[in-house]
Amino acid sequence: MQRLRLTHGLVSSNQARAIARCASDFGSGVLDLTTRQQVQLRDLSLSDVPALFARQHAAGLHSMQTGMDNVRNVTGCPVAGLDAAELLDTRLLARELTDQLMGNRAYTNLPRKFNLCLSGCSENCAHAETNDLAFVPAARERRQGRELGFNLRAGGALGGAAPRFATPLDVFVRPEEVVEAALCVLDLFRDHGPRERRSHSRLKVLLETWGEVRFRAELEARLGRRLERAAEREYLGEGLNAHLGVHKQRQADLYYVGLCVPVGRMRAAQLEGLAELAERFGKGQLRFTVGQNVLIPHVPESRLNALLAEPLLNELSPAPHPALAGLVACVGNDYCAYSTIDTKGLGLQLAERLKGRLPDDEPARIHISGCPRGCGKHQVAAFGLLGSLQRCGDEIRPAAELFLGGALGPRMKLGEKAAERIDWSELPDLLVRLAGGAGAETARRSA
């Protein structure tokens, strides 16, 4: 497997085409979109890696520091620069920060991986509080007017036995201070983060050991100056906007179209088709989301109907049914040794059986993880499913633990386990009852 670093999930059509052709020429033609706005290629051979790298480098692509104990992809709002309601366009900042990290040996041997989010979006569509470090848009009033910047949150991590949301550090930074602040947090993590056990080597452990007050003091000492207190107004939305469908941009007469990639898996031919559509109907750009979907921006109003009539949009729909629109799944056991179940295949089966049976006013928000590492982020979904197996006579069948009520933003809450060992075949009827308001007690009685 190869995971490509795509800062903020942005790619040109030429890069998308190169990714697609690399997947088909060197791999199986299978592509997975991740919950960190990246693309993974499958079934690559070691002997092909030099040729693969050469082709990708020619297109401005690479997979540097996307695994092991590095700072992973810098995520952010997929409609940065497009949304009229955004507070700050973070694309250039994310690029600057990424450039500071790539090839910098000071940050290639951290205690564990480090997830970083930088967003100027008020809707929290990049799920800031699930990251080790998050720059959350914020505003404070000054005599000269409103000043925009970011409040810092740290210590988020959903994997393992002790998932945790990022907590406020009571720090405000201006846009021009973002890179310096991020690198100083990384310095603290590198120099003081626990390394004895990998299961206890995330930033959250250091933060819980020190507490927010000491962490802030150590950060000030590293910076050599006092930090300003967090802004009074923090824009941390509920993270519900999947950006599917047709939306007006801040630019006159232009729209972006959000397309559903079912469970985040696509064929190389589909990505190549998207690249071609982005050139014909937009400005040759695609954007990937943390919900494992894709956007085509910069579509003129006069060209919208023609784009929506394209055959590829029958496969990657801008208007999927609610169960599919809110469905997120980790890689699954066809490509991941840790997963107990085929999350993507079973997820598609589940969505099909829920079609037409759920309220159609919003996505159902069903997240599936194949193991406790939680790559499907099941803890923050309305319906979180953690894969398992159970014996039925002589047969081993896929099953799930059910988590309910996960939420982000002002009412952030980790989903609570409501039931164990639910046979996968029983999930559709159970979720329909729950979506109708039956609640967690129904899940417990049904399990």
Computed from CA positions of residues 232, 237, 243, 246, in that sequence, does the dihedral angle turn out positive or negative?
negative
Distances (CA, A) of 306 to 218, 237, 299, 302, 415: 56, 33, 10, 8, 42
Q: Residue 186 carries which DSSP code?
A: H
Paired tokens of 420: 């164990």
- How many Å apart are CA 188 and CA 171, to the nearest integer? 16
Hey, what are 427's tokens?
A: 């999930």
Residue with tokens 């690399």: 22
For every residue of 88-119, DSSP letters joined together read ---HHHHHHHHHHHTT-GGGSS-SS-EEEEE-
- Known catalytic residues are 3, 112-113, 370, 375-376
Task: Determine how β-strand 2-4 pairs with β-strand 39-41.
Answer: antiparallel
Query: Rounded CA gap, 16 and 59, in Å?
Result: 9
Please list the residues that pair with 135 across neighbouring strands. Answer: 118, 152
CB atoms within 10 A of CB 224: 7
CA distances (Å), origin 21, targets 27, 33, 53, 247, 316: 9, 16, 13, 30, 19
**CA pair distance 341, 101, nearest whole angstrom:** 35
